[in-house]
Each structure stands twice: as structure tokens, then as C-alpha cells.
Structure 1
Amino acid sequence: MTLKRRTDRPKLPGTFHRIWAASAVSSLGDGVYYSALPLLALTLTHDSVAFGLMEAVTLLPWLLFGLIGGALVDRWDRRRTMVIADLCRFGLLALATVAVLGGFLNLAVLIGIGFLLGMGGVLFDTASMAYLPELLERDPDNLQRANSRLQGAQRALDGFVGPPTGSLLFALGRAVPFVTDAVSFLFSSLMIRTLPAGPKKAAAPKGSILKDAGAGASYLLHHRFLLGLTLRPAVGNFAFCGVGAVLALYAHDTLHLGTAGYGTFLTCEAVGGLGGTFVAGRLVARLGSGGTLTLTAIVEAAAVLGVGIAPNAYLAAAGLALVGAAMAVTMTIGPSIRQAIVPDELMGRVSAAARLTGYSAGPVGALFSGWLAHVAGLRAPFLAGAAILAVMSVLAARLTSNARVDAALAQAGRAAEESAAGSALPAHA
């Protein structure tokens, strides 16, 4: 049951195209917002600590609220959760627009709005990851194709179209980008509102929310295959966030890129990422999902090494594009497998626990690389990151091999059949 492309595969349902459209418009709004945010902040302060705080608030909601959010998503109707989260984010950005137009926006308000938007993002992202298997009836092939399309739209609009659009709109007026992002959330909520409701959940006694959150983390920790699947992006984030922490300095001091050149340099990763979403299905069809995960781990290690030892910006940019492509393939396949394996009643919590594990490694990697660059030079974090990713490629070959993927999918299928058979039995007095 490895995630391989079938020749007789059914088309993705029309309902998926609605959630795809909602995601695409929302990604465009995010790209506009995150490019305009630092421009607005520059009108308020030039304090680097303040900019660090704004960056931190994008991650804090996951660290503080991720597991609780997953538990809430498993209790609530997932479609309704997405709609409400988007409406709340629309309202927050409407308030931000009023604050900008009224001239009473300050840094504390901006950081607060960013944190609350992140909280809404935790609920929306977790609910959407849990809702997609419901919509596609947990079909592994369709899940892989759907995640590939969602990733492609996100990278194209958030990475390419959104940032320059945000800068242009900010030039027209400081409030314009925030109005645009607010409208994108409103559109997304209305589109998702038209989707079918998920299956009605059986009433169950509501215990401690912390206990429920812990159950999702425990399931992940005790499922050997899922734990291996989760450690892969965690190790990757340690290396990639470490590289990202010094990338601007490396590009300026070692590759001698100016501001315009650095922007083009970063775009190469987005170009590679977009390409990765298109080739993911073909790689899985040829190598199997486990083999593809091993291949992308090897490519990531080699590409990061290539960026770190590149003698010029052109070769470094090529390495960065390969990094983006391999990451995109991994981010398409990994969630698809998890969505096909995890029981529906745990989907939100396990997804949240997996993402929290991955996100938590990033700041540690950034701090480590900052120190390493200080004591050993700007190329050192790339060499260390490549070594870490090379070790991960060996582990990936064992922990997420085709045989292990097949076994995990087969076990999940048997468990689902047993659960369905048990629910079909008549109740005894």
C-alpha cells in the first residue's frame, strides 16, 4: 500500500477544489501580509529586538498552544473550526486596518495582533489537516495528490506573488495590504462554509483537555513508524533554521550579494519548492513513498553542503533550489502518510504533536548555528547542517522505508476495518 500512483485513480472530488481555492487565496493574503509587516514596523521602530519579537510571535502560538489546539480540534466540528478561525483572523486584520488608518497603531498592538493571528493559524491548520482525510475518505493516493496541489498553490502565491504584491500595495497605502489579507480570510471562510460537514461524532464524556492533548502526544511517541516520520522534519528544521539564521550574513559577506541579489537568491528556494510539488507524485510512483523520503534526505544533505562550499552565488543558488525542491516533496509525502494512518478521533492531536515537534527544533538549530558561525566562520553552519542531514538520510532509509510504510498502512487498514465491524454490531442490553 505504498503511496504509488494508480493508473485507475479517481479524480479528486469537486469539494476539494473549494478547499484548494480557499487555501490559495489565503496563501496570497499571507504573502501580502508578511511582506508588508516589516515595512509597517519600520515606520514605528528600527530596534532589532523588536523585529526579533515579531518573528518569535509567529512560532510562539504553536509552542504554547499547539497540543491544546489539537485536542480542541478533535472535540469540535473541523469545518466549523476552520470557518470560525478565518472569521476571527478577518476581524483582527480589520481592527489592524482601523488602527493604521486612525494613527494609533503601535508596536505592542502589532505584536499582539501577530500573536492572535498565530493562534488562529494553529486552529485552522490543525483542523484542515484533520479534515482533509475526512473529505478524501483517507485514500492514500488522493491524499498525496491533494497535499501536492495545496503545497504548490501555497509556494506559488505565498512565495512568489504575495511578497511583491504586498510591497506594491504598501506603497499605495499602509493599510491596503492588511485590507487585502483580511478579505482573503473572509473569502476562505465563505468558501469553506460550503464544504460538507464531517461525520457526526459520537457523544463522549469530556475529560481534561490536558489529558486529551497528552493522549495525542503519547500515541505519536509509541507509534514507532509515526515517530520516525516526525523526527525527519524535526531534524530537518534544526538544520534548515540553523542555515536560515546566518543565510543573510553568508550571502552578504561571503557571496557578496547586494539587497536585490539577495532577494533573487531567496527566490531560488521558492522556485525549487514549486518544482518539487510537481515531481512528488512521479517520484513516489517510481521509488515508493519510503524510497522517495530517503532520496530527498540525501538530496537535502548534498544541497546544503553545496550551498556552504559554493565558490560563487550561482552555484549556491542552485543548491538552494535543490533544498527547496527536496523539502517540498518531503512536506507533501509525510503528512499524506500520517493522514492515512492516524485514527480520525486522534487526527488533530497527533498532527499538532507532530508539527510541534518539528517547530521546536528550529529555534535550537538557529541558536546553535549563530554560535557556530561566530566561532568557526559563516560556512560552518552549512557543513554542520549537511552532516546532520546525512545522518538523517541513513535513519530515513531504516525508519521510513517502503516496507515500513506498507506495514503501517496495512495495520491502519486492519484497525479501521475492525473498528467499523465493531460499530456495526448490535448493542446488547
Structure 2
Amino acid sequence: MLHTLLRNKVFIIVTTADLIQQMGIWIRNMALLFYIMELTANDPVAVSLLTVLEYLPILLFSLVGGALADRWEPKRTMIMGDLLSAVSIACIILSMQAGYGKTIFVAVFISAVITQFSWPSSSVMFKRHIPEQQVTTAISISAALASLFVIIGPIIGTLIFTWLGIYASLTVLVILFLCSAAMQTALPKVNQRTSYDAVTLIHQFKKGYSYLLSNKNLRVLVVGLTLLELGLGIIQPLEVYIVMDRLGLEKEAIQWLYGLYGTGMFAGGVLAARMIHKFQATNLTSVGFCVLALLIFSEALSIWFLFTGSIRFMAGIVAAFLQVMIEAFLMRFTAERYIGIINGTISTLVVTGTLMGSSMAGVLMKHTSLLFVYCLASGIVFAAGMYCRKLELNNK
């Protein structure tokens, strides 16, 4: 099965393009994090605002982007998305050089908006060109390879920003988006379905929601993922303060925690490709969420780098298993004509949780403590795990 998959042209191109984009995203994230912290004297509210601006477009546009992915020709959509991202960031560089430094926030917003119209097309290409029995393996390989850039992306992003500054970081991002667009020109062009040609977007939304509400597993999964992202959203902007306040290190040391998390994701992706069929999916989902809750709580208590690093490594393994299982479930059991709008709907609801958490993060930390915020997040993620016991999945 693996040899057949590796000869699949669409799988190779889409996966490689996604990896290039992952590298660009990590370079962007690290550069913007350090730039904003230097600009605002480590203000946690400003750092959490950066996360909100990154996720707000997902809330506003992922549903529309998913619906349009079911209508538009996916190859053209993916290429145009990368080209527009490159052009928008190039314009931001020119604006910053002209003295408008705060336009960096605009770069985050625009880049995230464009992504909502291009990334659902990758799922459409996978659904059409990868046999169903190879879907889980394909997603496992993609997750394992993407985790490599979780390891090296923060390191490279930190080095570029530290040595060359914000302009070099954004310039590299432009180059990577252009490379991704060029690679995707080799994808096959597919005649788009015409089933939606005479249907309005509103009617398409209604059919998508009806499909979602009629499926118990999708309903439970949406609620569970929303709670999960609410908990993770609360702590996501505050990870750098674990490094500074709990471990007593410089903010740049966060790259090593990201690297350990990515190493865990790579190991988890490899293990998932080999072992996930041996697990009962319902138990794995619920247990995985509960283990993440325990790891979040333990990370907040730790004051030793080695222990914190071990926790991040284990969290990466668990996250990889959950990612592969959930994505494979959605890919296999969602009808092709709904794959875009279902992904968009789930993203919208899930990111609502992330935004709610991120928007509260800085304020909660200012008025309570870092330890309290992490304990609150742990409790929310544990509640998500308990709720996901209602899932009735089947990996067969």
C-alpha cells in the first residue's frame, strides 16, 4: 500500500506543497512573536491579540472557503491562494519599509484569510485522487512529515529573525509561497462537478448543516473539538511565559520546546501509520484528550526544562495520533460533495473556541496567574475527553 501511495503524483505534490507552506508559517509565527514582544515590552495582551488576528479569519471565512472549494477547480484555487499570499506579504514589506510598522498585524490577517480559500482544496484533491483504503496511511505520512517542520521551523524562524530581522523573515515567506505555487502547477486539472451550479451558497450551507446535524458522530466531534480548542486557545499565547516565568529562560528558548513537540509529532505520526488500526477509535479519542489534559497540568507545575521538554514530546505523540484518527474519519465518512463545506463548518466552530480562549488568555493571566490559567485549560480539555466518550467510530 505504501509503495502505491508514494507513486501517487497528487499525494506527492500536495504533501510537498503543504510542507513548504508549513515551513513558511513557522518562520512567520516565530518572527511575528518576537517582533511583537520587542515592540510591546512582552505585553501578554498584545501577544494574545496576535493569536486572535491569526484565527479570526478562520472564523469569518472558513465556512465560505469550504463551500467554494466544493464549487471551484481545486488546482487553480490552490495556486492562486499561494500567489495572493506572496503578493500580500510583499506589499506588507513595502509598507513597513515606508514606516508603517504596525501593518505587520495586517500581514497576519490577510495571510490567514487567503488560506481559508485554498486549504480546503487540498482535502478535495486527497478525496478524489487517493483510494479510500490508503487515506489513513496518507494522512499519517503527511502528519509525520509536517511534524518535521514543527521541529526545524521554530529553529530556522528564530535564527532568521535573530540574525537578519523581520524583513528577511517575511521575504523568505514570499519565496516559499511562490515555490509552493510553482510546484502545484504540475497537479492534474479536474473538471469540477456541476451539482452546485444552479444552487445558491445559502442553500448549499443549509444542506451542509443538515448533513452535519444528521450525523451523530460529526455532532459529538464538533462539540469535543470546540471544547478542546477552547482549552488550548487559553494557553497557546502564553507558552512563551512558561519558558520565561516557570523555567527562567530567555524567550528565544521556546524554539526548543516547539522542536521537542515536533519530534513527538513525528514519532506519533510514524506510530499512527503502523498501529492506529489496532486501536478502538472511540476509546483512543476520549483517552487522548484526557492525556492531553494531564500533560497541560503537569507542564504548568514543572520548573525543570528537561521535565517540561519531556511533557511537550509526549504531547506531540498524543496530538499526532488524534490528528491522524480524526482527519481520516472525516475524510472516509464524509461524502465528497460535502467535504469542503463540512471542513469549513467544523473549522468555523472549532476556531470559535480557539478565539474565545486566546482573547481571554492575556486578561486571565494579568488578573490571576499562569498556573491558574493552565489548570483551567486542563479542566476544559478533560471535559472534552469525557464528552467524546459518546463517539461511535469504527476504523474497519
Match of 2:29 in 1: 34
Aligned counterparts, 1:188-267, within 5 A: 188-202=180-194, 204-267=196-259
More off after superposition, 147-156 vs 44-53: 44-53
Question: Per-residue deviation at 1:317?
Answer: 2.7
> Is 2:87 aligned against 1:67?
no
Match of 1:300 in 2: 292
Letter in 2 for 1:122: Q
CA change 1:374–1:25 in 2 (3 A) is closer
Which ranges of structure 2 fall in alignment gaps of 5 or more residues?
Answer: none
Alignment partner of 2:112 out of 118, 129, 137: 118
More off after superposition, 339-348 vs 314-323: 314-323
Letter in 2 for 1:164: I
Q: Distance in 2 between matches of 1:40 and 1:308?
A: 25
> Is 2:13 aligned against 1:18?
yes
CA change 1:44–1:230 in 2 (3 A) is same
Letter in 1 for 2:116: V
More off after superposition, 61-70 vs 165-174: 165-174
Aligned counterparts, 1:38-187, within 5 A: 38-39=33-34, 48=43, 52-100=48-96, 103-137=97-131, 139=132, 141-157=133-149, 159-170=150-161, 171-172=163-164, 174-187=166-179
Question: Per-residue deviation at 1:291?
Answer: 3.8
CA change 1:185–1:350 in 2 (3 A) is same
Whether contact under 8 Å (1:130, 1:344) holds in the other structure is yes
TM score, norm. by length of structure 2? 0.87
Letter in 2 for 1:148: S
Whether contact under 8 Å (1:293, 1:400) holds in the other structure is no
CA change 1:232–1:322 in 2 (3 A) is farther
Whether contact under 8 Å (1:307, 1:319) holds in the other structure is yes
Question: Per-residue deviation at 1:18?
Answer: 1.4
Aligned length: 393
Match of 1:277 in 2: 269
Question: Per-residue deviation at 1:348?
Answer: 0.7
Question: Per-residue deviation at 1:356?
Answer: 1.4
Matched residue SS, 1:75: coil
Whether contact under 8 Å (1:228, 1:400) holds in the other structure is no
> Is 2:349 aligned against 1:354?
no
RMSD: 2.9
Which ranges of structure 1 fall in alignment gaps of 5 or more residues?
Answer: 1-6, 407-429
Match of 1:324 in 2: 316
Matched residue SS, 1:11: helix
Q: Distance in 1 between matches of 2:29 and 2:237?
A: 18
> Is 2:386 aligned against 1:391?
no
Offset from partner CA, 1:321-359 (integer Å, 9 cap, x none): 222221122112211111111111111110011111111
CA change 1:245–1:165 in 2 (3 A) is closer
Matched residue SS, 2:370: coil
TM score, norm. by length of structure 1? 0.81
Whether contact under 8 Å (1:284, 1:292) holds in the other structure is no
> Is 2:374 aligned against 1:382?
yes
Letter in 2 for 1:121: T
Q: Distance in 2 between matches of 1:221 and 1:386?
A: 28
Question: Per-residue deviation at 1:379?
Answer: 2.5
Mark the structure with the bigger radius of gyration.
1
Letter in 1 for 2:82: D
Matched residue SS, 1:95: helix
CA change 1:346–1:262 in 2 (3 A) is closer
Q: Distance in 1 between matches of 2:368 and 2:39?
A: 36
Letter in 2 for 1:256: G
Q: Distance in 2 between matches of 1:65 and 1:230?
A: 18
Letter in 2 for 1:55: T
More off after superposition, 293-302 vs 18-27: 293-302
